[in-house]
Structure 1
Amino acid sequence: MRDTLWINNTGTVSKSASTSVLTSCISVVFAFIFPSCRYYFGEKIALYYLWLGWYTKLLVPAAALGVVVFLYGLAFFNTNPLINEVCQSNIIMCPRCDKTCQVWKLSDTCSYAKVSHLFDNEGTVAFAMFMAIWATLFLELWKRHRARHVSQWKVYDWCEEEEELIMEIVNDPDCTPKQFRHSYLRSTLVLILLMLIIGLAHALVVFRVVAAPLLSECQWKFLKDHANTVAVMLGAVLHYVTIQIMTRVWKLHLSLFLTLQSFTVKMFTFQFFTLFSSLFYVAFFLGRINGHPGNYVRLAGFRLEECHPSGCLTDLFIQMAVIMLLKQTLNNIFEFTVPTYTSNRNLGTPPIQDVHPLTFSLFNEFLEMVVQFSFTTTFVAAFPLAPLLALINNIFEIRLDAIKMVRLERRLVPRKTNDIGVWTKVLEAIGVLAVIANGLVIGVSSDFIPRLVYRYRYGPCANGTTDTRCMQGYINDTLSMAFMSHPDVQRDFKIEQMHNVTECCYRDYRSDEDYSLTPQFWLVLAVRFAFIILFEHVVVVCKFIAAWFVPNNPIGVKNDRLHDKLARLKEELR
């Protein structure tokens, strides 16, 4: 097949052959392994499409359950007592910033409370557990899927290192193998770059802190009324721009002095830190270190942000939704239009081999999909629709990759392989991180634990009463009071803008007299830690059971290999 498919001078497949190869590569996704894709592009490309197809298939149940969780929140959209308590409240809240902001009514954020409930409800906990186990099942079932096909391709026992040594010996019988080396200089550079990423995350935090009060001074009523939400969305867009810039910087500099495997691991590490540094701040620090009226924590002279009275999870949802939508949509447009423009520009150019500079990059495609896998699993507790967005993106990604590979870019040199390499280890690490991150999101960021404590310890049903709503009064219970007569409070707020308000509320468990933390705060904190430990132990046990229950190699593959070895040994002993 390799001999019958004609290639033009730019290294792309001719139009007469591209349709056949394109169909074959897309067919790999649906597990009908036509030989032309593997024979023409090699096992390396075929395994990429095999993995992408398997990942896309298993996204279907995850996306379906995510939609169910979303619809569960939507079903109680108008009847949820917590939403009604916010929307019908007359509570006066303390200003969100120092001198320019005014007091506001809790009912002004009715829409925000409704959105919060869509992504912070009881179904979120079960979905987070499901996704952590799903990540393990995906990897274990992929190993079986891979083993079945590489056995059919007769490359199960193939060793890339031995093949490279054989090629070196053929070219030079007196060659010496390249020695493994460790460079402390490179390791130090990696640490410096990671510190730079952390610094960028701090810069994004400063932007969010500064943007909210500045927007609250705007003359436009919409921006003034929704200053915090707009600041969050602008921060997410700026984060996306930072991701794009830093990704190109990492690729340009790291590729100059790192080996392929080392480059893969370190490039993903940098990409992961760039993507998730701001998300970790929103998930685990936003609203927890901001202090209280009269003693606010400040950054660059501005007060740190506070969580909404309905919870902190919505900010994380907004951040993830903006980044994920922008990254997937714009990346697909950019990756497809640039090769198309380059190919059209080169039409009519003399047939010189180097006229088509773009080469299909398997590394870039794997990196894009593994980063998407990270979004789909790591903070899925805050964004149950992430698997659905990933599924929709992958349906287009499969087709666009195939078109780009066979029609718009120079093909890769066909190479053998029997695995996706170090990406398997990266996916396993993400699976473990997903358990930790989702446990922390539910235990720390979500209001699941405070609501649970209120229901069984402080709410109307705590004493056995059953004729009322158990969560009635929850929002008011999570608020503390600040009195304007206190001199420290007067220093923080501009009294002229208080409109004769003598006290205001803020989200925290503090005493009204001396702002000390109440016993309820310590109880909630203890239950949070207990839940995180219990959640992670239960999910980890389930992951180990799933990994043990699903063997990496199907019995048929083991038996086939055993017969092949027996036949080879008989042949050698003759």
Structure 2
Amino acid sequence: MEIDKSQQSKDSVFFRDGVRRVDFVLSYIDDKDGERKQERRREYEANLEKAGLELETEDKSESEDGKTYFLKIHAPWEVLATYADVLKIKVPFKANDIPNHTEIPMNWLSTPFRLPDHIMHPEPDFFTAPFNKSKSDFFLIDDKETFFPPSTRNRIVRTSSYKDKKGIKRLLNNGTYTSAFPLHDCRYWTRSRDLNCESERYNLYKYWARFLCFFKEQPLNLIRKYYGEKIGIYFAWLGFYTEMLFFAAVVGVICFIYGLLTYSENEWSYEICSEEIGGKIVMCPLCDKKCGYWKLNSTCNSSWQSHLFDNVGTVFFAIFMGIWVTLFLEFWKRRQARLEYEWDLVDFEEEQQQLQLRPEYETKCTNRRLNRITQVFVVGSLITPQLATSVTASCINFVIIMILNLMYERVAIWITDMEIPKTHLEYENKLTVKMFLFQFVNYYSSCFYVAFFKGKFVGYPGDYAYMFGSHLRNEECDPGGCLIELTTQLVIVMTGKQVWGNIQEALLQCPPKPYRGQCFPLTVISPTSLLSVSPVIQFGFITLFVASFPLAPLLALFNNIIEIRVDAWKFTTQFRRPVAAKAHSIGAWAEILSGVAVLSVVTNAFIVAFTSDMIPRLVYMYAYSSDSGISMKGYINDSLSVFNISEIPDRSRPEDGENPSWFNSSITTCRYRDYRYPPGHEKQYSHTMKFWHILAAKLAFIIIMEFFVAWMIPDVPSEVKARIKRERYLVQEYLHNYEVEKLKMQLSQNGHSECTCTPMIYPSLTKHEVLSECL
């Protein structure tokens, strides 16, 4: 019996009979090409009904734009049970009887950050096993209509829609349908008065999506229940990453404060700024023809600024971050293993849900080959002036990066489409790798250049190094050093990317095509794309180059706190509900993060050794200081080599008018950054022994740092291993007892006395052979 439309709540997620749940919705609009599309829709909908799905259409007069039809789809028990069996969906068969002994010391400290238990744990804890339709009475089924949650139901309907050769994605691409999506639960801003409507969306908004909840833990179990494991695992990773950033941010701030507190103790900066020392040191030109001679004290301001990031704390912070990134990955593996168990993803293979080929693959690949196993033919595959210059250059570089990023995204998709991946999982993994490689080059290349190439291979005044023959002299760092340039580059690119990302998200608008008051953008951001455009690139910034800017983790922490709540708000209030999908990990990103982590230990060691001036200063302090005690007095003069101006070749000499007014012919030598013998020495302009001592110290630091951060931690916690073994044992025991009881029941129904034979007595026999033995 149908309910009167005028009496049905706009929050209703049921058919007009008020009984059958709407598990999926397709929308379409009749247009000038309507006859052809109508034929496609009739054929497709007939196939859906043939597969056992039930359909009901909302007339366009019921839609808010007066043009859109909505086709509602309901999956009855037979369809749900069949596909749950095929997809090996795990369902409960016994309450979990393992006591939880994971008490946290001083647990009361975390009380302000915790959420109510019914939000954190919306479902009882059960032992689960893959659903078997033929043994449905083995599982804890109280009500068949609510046994499978909405997220599982919409995943099953989505999977069944691909059984048709005219899969739903192809019909969306050719305009037969305008969109396909599962429904949200009722309203999010207030609890629904409809008792049949779940309040999960409202709870997600109240406890997760509001910014005032930024200091609270995330209700991961509720996210997983509502959106599926794939989105759940993404927010679990992002939340864990943000938690770990807190420790990196604290240490980074401490190192920055150390730089501030030791600001006045920066003896080499005093020497640079001194008129008696820095004011009398004439430096060689930094470029050919257009650069003149300059005095060292002109870099006074940048020298003081550089000390904030280039001090003893930098060495400590680089080592700490090497340990941090290793611990981050190992602890995430442990957190992931715990989630795999709690979310019934142990032994789950993502290929289980890739039962259907991508429609694009079937369309473009027509050659077939024989599968030797199945014998079936399948489709085959084919601020100072110098600082102002650095800031301006970094800003221009950032604009170019953002423009190239748009191009790279399209190129990555185009190349992946050209490869015609077979399954959705394969397509996603291939696209993920390409997107990261493009973005890795785009975002990090300028930082790699400044950190490891700029100013490293310039030669010396009499023998400069050139690129492309003799036309382009290798670039030198700003007078303040390469580290302050790297810091500037990192701050502008990293911060600019985060700000631009937030601006883009704020500009997203809801299109005027709602269904029963629910607003859905035309596209849904997948967890993979979310991951690719923000946190992973950010992870690279704070690990690969963090030694140059200790405050980077703090900026990332603030950004992620906002990012989590903004993403939660969008998923809960702005995006249509995505189709639930399972995933036991973050997919291809796990290997990418591991690769970045290994590379970061190397890059930070090299930044401290070769980009920072810290190692040369320490070598001077402990081995070459002229004072009786440990001192940096005289370091500036010691770190600069001397060159005879008359020996500078004509192509490198400053043009007329380029030299400052104080420069005159009485100045016969200039200084440059290097450790070379002075003119007149028998080994003039070759490297001094001090150069080799410093190089050895740099290499020793790199080796020690690499060794120091080689930590090994078990990937899976011991209590999780015990729970997994316990669950596997119980599944076997309960299934055995279940089979024995069924045998007894069959025998009693056939008039035989109770059989004492059990499958355990005849382990090599089948159930029917045991039955024969008993008879």
TM-score range, shorter chain: 0.7 to 0.9
Paired residue for 1:473, among 627, 631, 634?
Answer: 634
Q: Name the CA shift for 1:239/1:520 in 2 (closer, same or farther; >3 Å).
A: farther
> Which residue identity is paired with 2:315?
V
2:491 maps to 321
Cα deviation for residue 311 of structure 1 reads 3.3
- Kept after mapping to 2: 8 A contact 1:92/1:106: yes
- TM-score scaled by length of structure 1: 0.80
Query: Mean Cα displacement is larger for which, 510-519 or 492-501?
Result: 492-501
Per the TM alignment, residue 163 of structure 1 is displaced from its structure 2 partner at its CA by 3.8
- Residue aligning to 2:436: 268
Alpha-carbon deviation of 1:355? 8.5
Partner of 1:378 in structure 2? 544
Map of 2:523 onto structure 1: 358
Aligned residue-pair number: 513
Q: What is the 5 A alignment of 1:146-545?
A: 146-165=336-355, 228-230=389-391, 232-234=393-395, 236-241=397-402, 243-256=404-417, 257=419, 258=421, 259-299=427-467, 301-308=471-478, 310-337=480-507, 339-340=508-509, 343=510, 346-347=511-512, 356-367=521-532, 368-461=534-627, 465-466=628-629, 470-486=631-647, 488=649, 491-494=652-655, 497-498=658-659, 499-500=663-664, 501-513=667-679, 514-540=684-710, 543-544=711-712
Letter in 1 for 2:187: S
Contact 2:625–2:632 (8 Å) recurs in 1:
yes
Let me know the Cα RMSD of the aligned residues. Answer: 3.4
User: Does the 8 Å CA contact 2:229/2:581 hold for their aligned counterparts?
Assistant: yes
C-alpha contact 2:326 2:709 (8 A) present in aligned 1: no
SS for the counterpart of 2:445 is: helix
Q: Which stretch of structure 1 is more off in the superposition, 380-389 or 514-523?
A: 514-523
Matched, 1:41 2:250: no
Contact 2:263/2:304 (8 A) holds in 1 = yes
Contact (CA 8 Å) 2:220, 2:235: kept in 1 or not? no
Which residue in the other structure is 1:16 paired with? Answer: 187
Indicate the percent of aligned positions where both proteins have the same amino acid: 37
Separation in 1, partners of 2:675, 2:728: 69
CA contact (8 A) 1:7 1:14 kept: no
Relative to the length of structure 2, the TM-score reads: 0.61
- In the other structure, the counterpart of 2:319 is 129
- Cα–Cα, structure 1 residues 481 and 113, in superposed 2: closer, same or farther, change >3 Å? same
Question: Is this contact kept in 1: 2:512–2:519, CA < 8 A?
Answer: no
Per-residue Cα deviation, 1:80-116 (whole angstroms, up to 9, x for no partner)? 1011111112122222222232222211211111121
Q: Displacement, 1:153?
A: 2.4
| 2:544–2:599 Cα contact (<8 Å) kept | yes
3-state SS of the aligned residue for 2:457? coil
Q: Please tell me whether the aligned partners of residues 208 and 565 of structure 2 are also in contact (alpha carbons under 8 angstroms).
A: no
CA deviation vs aligned residue, 1:192-225 (integer Å, no higher than 9, x gap): xxxxxxxxxxxxxxxxxxxxxxxxxxxxxx8966
Greater relative CO, 1 or 2 (CA 8 Å, sep 6+): 1
Q: 1:388 to 1:366 in 2, by over 3 A?
A: same
Cα shift at 1:496: 5.3
Whole-angstrom distance in 2 between the partners of 1:265 and 1:245: 16
Q: Secondary structure, in 3 states, of the residue corresponding to 2:547?
A: coil
| 3-state SS, counterpart of residue 228 of structure 2 | helix
How far did residue 144 of structure 1 move? 2.1
Listed one character per residue, the Cα deviations across residues 353-384 of structure 1 (whole Å, up to 9, x for unaligned) are 99842212211211121111111111111111
Contact 1:125–1:442, Cα closer than 8 Å, also in 2: yes
- Number of the residue aligned with 2:260: 74
- Structure 1 unmatched runs, 5+: 169-173, 184-221
* SS of residue in 2 equivalent to 1:481: strand
The structure richer in helix per residue is 1
Flag the 1:570–1:243 CA change in 2: closer, same or farther, 3 A.
same
The letter for the 1-side match of 2:351 is E
| SS of residue paired to 1:16 | coil
For residues 23-62 of structure 1, give each alpha carbon's deviation from its aligned partner in whole angstroms, at most 9, with x where no partner exists.
4555899555365422221111111111111111111110
- 1:334 is paired with a residue of what secondary structure? helix
Q: Which moved more, 1:511-520 or 1:444-453?
A: 511-520
Indicate if the aligned counterparts of 1:482 and 1:505 stay in contact, CA closer than 8 A: yes
